[in-house]
């Protein structure tokens, strides 16, 4: 076997440029596979994290009749005494934080400009609001006792030409079906790096939101963050005794889950295309090598080398190409992924609704993916060398010697 490897290495060295570019084709294919996998994993991971931290939490407790699409404010659709319930949920060992929230819909008006908004009535002191607080780029976040202030997203502030300290009219639907309008002061402008969220959500203290919507001591939901996403099912079981509907982050982000499944299907299709191109390069390289060495193959057969050893000789060449290509591919893939992980790729507003997609894509590399894709590329390269190897091993000595003349 050592002798066959030496012969294979020598044969590849006869045409070093062709051998190098063949191995480079394998490397580029693996680089693309690693980069695509890392970008998809990074984007999906970012979308899930954004959805959980900004919008859905790991869990939400709601009244059975609550309709999120309508932002219902009827008493029968809301949770009474939400602070008490949130305290009981927060006492569970797996729970990081639980807080009541009130959702409402309304309109912001400034001069001749107006925009529809979704109002989040929140407890500003809760730790679940840290992503919003950290995102404040101008002014300050609201406080629990603020009755005249709100916080607005940067895209919405730009659209309405608002700055910190400006006055703005807010019209809100109330629990009795009427509309209440009040003037508010912009306390702060925030950005989460997610256009779809920042362009629609404004924050009020939950006490003020309850007052303006006339919902008194009621909330739309109990927003729950867990210490570990893996404990979601265990917490759901622990909350089954309540009279409230418990929804997980998957229930609340069905479009995101479906999109992830679709993305995995599409990326598998692209994997096949890249691997097919890589395999065709290896097949062409080795077939050219077979035709160039037809007389040599005939001589080897004539002096007693069996077809099986000739087969292994060409498989050894494809193995060396695969090893070199995989090593280069892993190095290039890691470098490309590192660059994407540091700099990201700005995509801006993709116009997607129903899920939160960050404005900038970052790659997320996992060793499982690197190992899996490297093995896949290695196997495909070996299989690509199988046909030329079989073709060489079946040559008849007499015909092979004549073909060169």
User: From first to last of its 405 residues, what are the pLDDT tens digits of the chain?
Assistant: 676 677 666 767 677 788 888 889 899 999 999 988 888 887 777 778 888 888 889 999 999 888 777 778 888 889 999 999 999 999 999 999 999 999 999 999 888 888 999 999 999 999 999 999 999 999 999 999 999 999 999 999 999 999 999 999 999 988 888 888 999 999 999 998 888 888 889 999 999 999 999 998 899 999 999 999 889 999 999 888 778 899 998 888 877 777 777 777 778 888 888 888 888 888 888 887 777 766 666 676 666 667 677 778 778 888 888 899 999 999 999 998 888 887 777 666 555 545 566 667 778 888 888 999 999 999 998 888 888 888 777 766 555 555 544
How high is the pLDDT of residue 405? 46
CA-CA distance, 257 to 133, in Å (whole number)? 27
CA-CA distance, 113 to 117, in Å (whole number)? 13
Name residues whose C-beta falls within 8 Å of residue 227's C-beta, 6 or more positions apart in sequence: 94, 95, 96
Question: Can you give the C-alpha Rg of the chain in angstroms?
Answer: 31
Question: Model confidence over 111-154: pLDDT tens digits?
Answer: 888 899 999 999 999 999 999 999 999 999 999 999 999 999 99
Q: CA-CA distances (angstroms) from residue 85 to 124, 221, 222?
A: 18, 10, 8
Strands (E), 154-244: 167-173, 179-190, 201-205, 218-219, 221-226
How high is the pLDDT of residue 307? 66
To the question of pTM greater than 0.75 for the whole model, the response is no
- The answer to whether the CB of 221 falls within 8 A of the CB of 60 is yes
69: tokens are: 């699409």
Across-strand partners of 104?
119
CA-CA distance, 341 to 267, in Å (whole number)? 19
């Amino acid at each position: 076997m050592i002798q066959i490897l030496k012969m294979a290495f020598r044969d590849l060295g006869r045409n070093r440029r062709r051998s190098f570019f063949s191995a480079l084709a394998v490397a580029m294919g693996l680089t693309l596979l690693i980069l695509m996998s890392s970008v998809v994993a990074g984007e999906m991971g970012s979308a899930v994290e954004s959805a959980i931290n900004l919008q859905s939490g790991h869990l939400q407790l709601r009244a059975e009749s609550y309709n999120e699409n309508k932002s219902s404010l009827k008493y029968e659709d809301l949770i009474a005494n939400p602070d008490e319930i949130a305290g009981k949920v927060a006492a569970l060992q797996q729970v990081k934080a639980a807080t009541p929230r009130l959702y409402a819909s309304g309109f912001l008006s400034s001069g001749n400009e107006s925009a529809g908004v979704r109002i989040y009535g929140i407890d500003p002191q809760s730790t679940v609001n840290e992503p919003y607080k950290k995102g404040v780029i101008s002014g300050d976040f609201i406080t629990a006792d603020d009755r005249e202030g709100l916080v607005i997203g940067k895209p919405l502030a730009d659209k309405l030409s608002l700055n910190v300290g400006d006055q703005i009219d807010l019209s809100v639907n109330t629990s009795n079906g009427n509309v209440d309008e009040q003037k508010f002061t912009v306390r702060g402008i925030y950005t989460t790096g997610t256009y779809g969220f920042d362009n629609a959500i404004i924050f009020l203290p939950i006490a003020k939101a309850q007052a303006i919507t006339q919902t008194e001591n009621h909330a739309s939901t109990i927003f729950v963050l867990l210490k570990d996403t893996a404990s979601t099912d265990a917490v759901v079981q622990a909350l089954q005794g309540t009279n409230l509907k418990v929804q997980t982050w998957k229930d609340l982000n069905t479009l995101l889950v479906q999109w992830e499944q679709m993305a995995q299907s599409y990326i598998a299709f692209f994997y096949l295309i890249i691997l097919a191109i890589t395999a065709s390069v290896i097949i062409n390289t080795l077939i050219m090598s077979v035709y160039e060495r037809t007389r040599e193959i005939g001589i080897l057969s004539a002096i007693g080398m069996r077809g099986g050893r000739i087969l292994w000789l060409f498989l050894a060449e494809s193995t060396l190409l695969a090893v070199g290509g995989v090593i280069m591919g892993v190095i290039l893939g890691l470098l490309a992924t590192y660059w994407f992980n540091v700099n990201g790729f700005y995509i801006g507003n993709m116009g997607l609704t129903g899920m939160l997609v960050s404005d900038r894509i970052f790659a997320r590399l996992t060793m499982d993916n690197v190992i899996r894709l490297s093995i896949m590329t290695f196997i495909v390269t070996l299989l690509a060398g199988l046909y030329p190897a079989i073709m060489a091993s079946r040559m008849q000595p007499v015909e092979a010697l004549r073909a060169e003349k």
